[in-house]
Amino acid sequence: MQYTPPTVAKRPRLLSASNIVLFLLGLMYLLTYIDRVNVSTASNVFEKELNLSKTEVGLIFSAFAYPYLIFQIVGGYLGDRFGPRRVLTICSLIWAVATILTGFVGGLATMLAARVLLGIGEGATFPTATSAMSNWVRPADRGFAQGFTHAFARVGNSIAPPLIVALMVWTGWRGSFFVMGIVSCFWVFLWYFYFRDNPAEHPGITQAELAELTPYVDKATRLRNPVPWGPLFVRMLPVIFVYFCYGWILWLFLSWIPQYFKNQHHLDLKSSALFSMGVFFAGVVGDTAGGILSDRVLHRTGSRLKARSYLVTIFFLCSLLCLVPLRLTNDVNILAVALAGAFFFAEMTIGPMWSIPMDIAPRYSGSASGIMNTGSALAAILSPLIGGYIIDKTGNWNYPFYGSMALLFLGAIVAFWMKPNEAFTIVAGPQTGTSDPKAA
């Protein structure tokens, strides 16, 4: 299926309702990632206070991902059925409360419980946000929107180490969780009072904006057309695997990079936080650049295959090459640049990848993106835990990154089977769907 570029290419004005909604979603991505990775920085302190091994710390990192995995699909379905306004409000309150409760933990068991509650709250956020974007973002800007919002997530990654260190100095490691939980509660109120599921019901929307958005599907229509879970899951299998490969890299970086510089290269807490911030900031640029590039390739070539799958393959291979210096040198400055480059190219896949559920199944975009994100959620369970085990057994912090190179190579190959140019429909077949020019 070839993509036909829109005749109207002008973006909405800067302070348009659709751009404000996109900005609010970006803020949510930023806060969710600070609230899920703050334990990586705080673990430098609480692992001694709570008398934890590296394997137990890895278990704490991954505990968030068990309910996160389940609630990807549940949350995507709820977002499609009941609307992003209600679902994000409830889920965001859960994750904000979980962040606050983390400051009260007294040992491994209560820390695990708080992280599980965080995973329940955050599990629905990204699929539901994709459902919101399907209604509020022009099809021509899908790559940019996903890259933009995920760039906020990487801003959260990059500022989390120095931010949490500063909060720990000011309030202690427990106080850092209290502060971030309260800030997250504030976002919930902003979202609830500003957002509307149907853009036409928003007082700030213009007719010009509405004319370029995908027609809104009301709740009654959604209820009459339940999600075809089996066929949709089969259709998304290659996408799940590719996103698992990406997720392995992501969660390895998010979980262990703050400790990597401190332990492998013996830097102090502040210096390791600054090096970590540099690596994560490269992801901010990568997210934005990847989304913009994907949309430009789509506009110029009219091919979703080139704009999504081919770019993902190229970015994975570039990320792999950037990890090679870990086997060649121990210079911390060179390795910091190499890790930043690997993270940059891995994050460039975000815009294309999160556009694929909207390309393949726009009517079920929340559910489809939830299915896709189970790949990353599964990686979030395995990657930190296996990484911690390898570090405990070998004492070498480079080894977990070596295995990532093989996954990047496999992901680059399987990306060719994602087929974002073939829209999903259950009319022509129960398994894979068929190309439907009107569907995407």
For residue 298, CA distances in Å to 144, 230, 311, 429 come to: 11, 29, 11, 27
What number is the average pLDDT over the span 240-260? 87
Q: Give mean pLDDT, residues 375-399.
A: 82
pLDDT at 222: 62
> Hey, CA dihedral for 259, 146, 231, 316, is it positive or negative?
negative
pLDDT of residue 265: 65
Q: What is the pLDDT of residue 361?
A: 84
Q: If you average pLDDT over residues 200-214, what whole number do you get?
A: 85
Q: Are 311 and 294 in contact (CB under 8 A)?
A: yes
- Mean pLDDT, to the nearest integer, of 382-409? 83
Residue 398 and residue 406: Cα distance in Å, rounded? 14
Where is mean pLDDT largest: 144-148, 257-261, 416-420?
A: 416-420
Mean pLDDT of the chain: 84
| 312: amino acid identity, one letter | V
Does residue 436 surpass a pLDDT of 70?
Answer: no
For residue 423, pLDDT beyond 80: no
Q: Most confidently modeled of 7-11, 64-68, 111-115, 333-337?
A: 111-115
- The per-residue pLDDT for 437 is 36
Does the pTM surpass 0.85? The reply is no
| The pLDDT of residue 239 | 95
Quick count: other Cβ atoms within 10 Å of Cβ 438?
8
Q: What is the pLDDT of residue 224?
A: 64
d(CA 296, CA 288): 12
pLDDT greater at residue 269 or residue 371: 371
Residue 74 pLDDT: 80
pLDDT band at 434 (very low <50, low <70, confident <90, very high): very low
In angstroms, the Cα distances linking 146 to 33, 86, 362 are 15, 21, 14
What are the structural domains of the chain? 17-198+227-417 (1.20.1250.20)
Top mean-pLDDT range of 41-55, 138-152, 165-179, 368-382 = 165-179
Quick one: pLDDT at residue 431? 40
Beta partners for residue 2, in sequence order: 303
Give 309's pLDDT tier (boundaries 50, 70, 90). Answer: very high
State the sign of the Cα–Cα–Cα–Cα dihedral 15, 75, 38, 150: negative
pLDDT at 11: 54
pLDDT tens digits, residue range 111-140?
999 999 999 998 888 888 888 888 888 877
Higher-pLDDT residue of 267 and 105 is 105
Query: Cβ(77)–Cβ(13) under 8 Å?
Result: no
CA 210 to chain CA centroid, nearest Å: 27
* pLDDT for the residue numbered 33: 84
pLDDT for 4-29, tens place per residue?
Answer: 554 444 555 667 888 899 999 999 99
The token pair that represents 94 in the structure block = 């859960």
In the block, which residue shows the tokens 């789509």? Answer: 298
Neighbours of 328 (CB within 10 A): 10
Q: Assess whether pLDDT exceeds 70 at residue 159.
A: yes
> SS in 3 state form for the chain?
CECCCCCCCCCCCCCCHHHHHHHHHHHHHHHHHHHHHHHHHHHHHHHHHCCCCHHHHHHHHHHCHHHHHHHHHHHHHHHHHHCHHHHHHHHHHHHHHHHHHHCCCCCHHHHHHHHHHHHHHHHCHHHHHHHHHHHHCCHHHHHHHHHHHHHHHHHHHHHHHHHHHHHHHHHHHHHHHHHHHHHHHHHHHHHHHHCCCCHHHCCCCCHHHHHHCCCCCCHHHHHHCCCCHHHHHHHHHHHHHHHHHHHHHHHHHHHHHHHHHHHCCCCCHHHHHHHHHHHHHHHHHHHHHHHHHHHHHHHHHCEHHHHHHHHHHHHHHHHHHHHHHHHCCCCHHHHHHHHHHHHHHHHCCHHHHHHHHHHHCHHHHHHHHHHHHHHHHHHHHHHHHHHHHHHHHHCCCCHHHHHHHHHHHHHHHHHHHCCCCCCCCCCCCCCCCCCCCCCC
Distance of CA 271 to the CA centre of its chain: 26
